[in-house]
Chains A and B, each alone.
Chain A
Amino acid sequence: MLRIDLASRVPVYEQIANGLRAELVSGKFSPEEKLPTVRTLAINFGVHHNTVAEAYRQLANEGWLELKRHHGAIVRERDRPVAGPDTMERFTRPLRELVAKGLADGLSPSSLAREMIEIARRLEGKA
């Protein structure tokens, strides 16, 4: 199940793309499997279909999906990409902000690190 928050400052299309990516990374969808059509997902979320189409386009650009007209989005077989020098840089800033918020809310650095490792393992299907 995918969940979004319309009151969040994060754009809706980004929330949808992030949620779907998490499902795809964890292997919940196998290659060639169909995702709901743009219209169906937009109806279920109660958002405009352009919002969902934008999320699908983003995932298609990342190589997760193949978009076929009138056939919806199909999950693609995707090789694990090699992380470039700027890959870590892209993640550090949002991660830093998130960790800062966790620390400000009283979480300990060790519990945050444990949680992060746990999440990564779950997504990779190792937990």
Chain B
Amino acid sequence: MIHSLVDTRIIIGITIGGVAILYAVLFWFMPRLTRHDLYFAVTVTPGFRDESEGKSILRRYRLELIIFSGLAFIAFAAGVCSFGVGFVSAGLFIEFVASFIAFYLARQRVLPYAAPPTMIREAELRGQNRVIPGGWIAASGPFILLAACAGYLWIHGAQIDPGAGGQPNGLTIRALTVYLLFTTTKLAALTLVLYGLSHWVRPVYAGGPERAHELKFRRTVSAIVLGVEYYVTLQASWIMLVPRRGDLMTVALLPLVLVFALVAIVMLARLGQGGSRIPAKEQVSPTISALPVGDRTPDCYWKLGIFYFNRDDSAVFIEKRFGLGYSLNFARPTAWIFLLLTLMAPLIPVLAHLSQFLPKLGV
């Protein structure tokens, strides 16, 4: 049996541990991947990071990152050994908190050097460049695949559901239906993100090569989100159509997450946040202000440097100040719909499980 050769716990441990290490490595390089006039989520003059104060802050940050991440990893490993695979989510959270503390301390050191960003804003009146990679045909692919799986289950339910003593009892089908709902909710959330990336992101530059770089970055992020959609669907299809293969075949797909995350991070890191690391082929547009551009958001709207909350800003998606990709403007109701959908997906199996007991309680 394959089960005896490979322990599923090892696969899960290696994957999640790999993701945790990847996280710490990303935090190590992050200060150099953000826009030139943003340093630890604070708007600074463009040359600040190469000045002695900037370099000193970076050195101290990296030292603290090693110490905190190391401690977190020990706690993570100890937790997995003591409490089993169920501890991995908590372990990942501990890893995140450790990296965040290092970031927050560095941010506090940068704040005295903060420079007010330019208040000049630009907008292009033509050509909004709303691109979803592959168009709506590619975006609807995961839903079609999932619908095909649901159709197959509907028709061949009895063959898939072995039940007790070879007689179908509906339990397998019920579990698969819950899983189907869970995946559909996840896909809906991801599709909303994909739509939001093409419609609700505020560009930092309205023209010039910086705009082209920004668009390239946004297209790459959209392609990654689309890739995640396909991965989620393929994994769900596998689980639904080959349920009798057991845990291992399902868990065997897990390391793919690590590979996928690694490829996505390398792709985005090469571009830099907002395409800021792409070398300019043509003349960069002349600066319209002596003040740093940053991401054209005042520092005061960034809570703890990671949460953006600005009621006067209609944008739902904003470039992360410390990270690769986009964050939400939590002052917009749409942002909370995103969060609700994301949180709803893991809640569906719990609700379905509870609904089994409700009839017994006479509800």
Cross-chain contact of B120 among A4, A20, A42, A47 (Cβ < 8 A)? A4
B119 and A5: CB pair below 8 A? yes
Q: Which residues of A contact B310 (CB under 8 A)?
A: 46
Asked, given contacts A1-B124, A1-B207, A3-B288, whether A46 binds B202 with beta carbons under 8 Å apart, the answer is yes
B120 and A48: CB pair below 8 A? no
Question: Is the CB of B122 closer than 8 A to any CB of chain A?
Answer: yes
A23 to B125, CA, bound (A): 10
Question: Is the CB of B356 closer than 8 A to any CB of chain A?
Answer: no
A1 to B316, CA, bound (A): 22
> B314's closest neighbor in chain A, by CB?
A42
B313 and A48: CB pair below 8 A? yes
Q: Which of B20-41 contact A (CB under 8 A)?
A: none
Question: Is the CB of B111 closer than 8 A to any CB of chain A?
Answer: no
Question: Is the CB of B312 closer than 8 A to any CB of chain A?
Answer: yes
B125 and A47: CB pair below 8 A? no
Question: Is the CB of B123 closer than 8 A to any CB of chain A?
Answer: yes
- Report the minimal beta-carbon distance from B266 to chain A, rounded to whole angstroms: 30
Asked, given contacts A23-B125, A36-B128, A49-B314, whether A43 binds B200 with beta carbons under 8 Å apart, the answer is yes
B122 and A46: CB pair below 8 A? no
A46 and B313: CB pair below 8 A? yes
A29 to B310, CA, bound (A): 32
A101 to B121, CA, bound (A): 24
Asked, given contacts A39-B314, A46-B314, A46-B315, whether A2 binds B123 with beta carbons under 8 Å apart, the answer is yes
A79 to B147, CA, bound (A): 56
A40 and B128: CB pair below 8 A? yes
Q: Which of A1-31 contact B (CB under 8 A)?
A: 1-8, 20, 23, 29
Question: Is the CB of B273 closer than 8 A to any CB of chain A?
Answer: no
Q: Interface digits, B293-335 against A, CB 8 Å rule (1 contact, 0 not)?
A: 0001100000000000011111110000000000000000000
Cross-chain contact of A1 among B122, B200, B312 (Cβ < 8 A)? B122
> A45's closest neighbor in chain B, by CB?
B121
- Report the minimal beta-carbon distance from A15 to chain B, rounded to whole angstroms: 10
Question: Is the CB of A44 closer than 8 A to any CB of chain B?
Answer: yes
A59 to B256, CA, bound (A): 55
A35 and B314: CB pair below 8 A? no
- Report the minimal beta-carbon distance from A72 to chain B, rounded to whole angstroms: 11
A5 and B120: CB pair below 8 A? yes
B125 and A4: CB pair below 8 A? no
Interface residues of chain A, those whose CB is within 8 Å of chain B, are 1-8, 20, 23, 29, 35-36, 39-49
Besides A43-B200, A49-B314, 7 new A-B residue pairs in contact (Cβ under 8 A), listed by A number: A1-B122, A3-B121, A29-B125, A44-B122, A46-B121, A48-B312, A48-B313
A-B pairs with beta carbons under 8 Å apart, 24 shown: A1-B123, A1-B124, A1-B207, A2-B206, A4-B121, A7-B119, A20-B125, A23-B125, A29-B125, A35-B125, A40-B128, A41-B123, A43-B200, A43-B315, A44-B123, A44-B202, A45-B123, A46-B296, A46-B310, A47-B121, A47-B314, A48-B312, A48-B313, A49-B314
| 6 interchain residue pairs of minimum CB distance | A44-B123, A42-B314, A7-B119, A6-B119, A43-B315, A45-B121
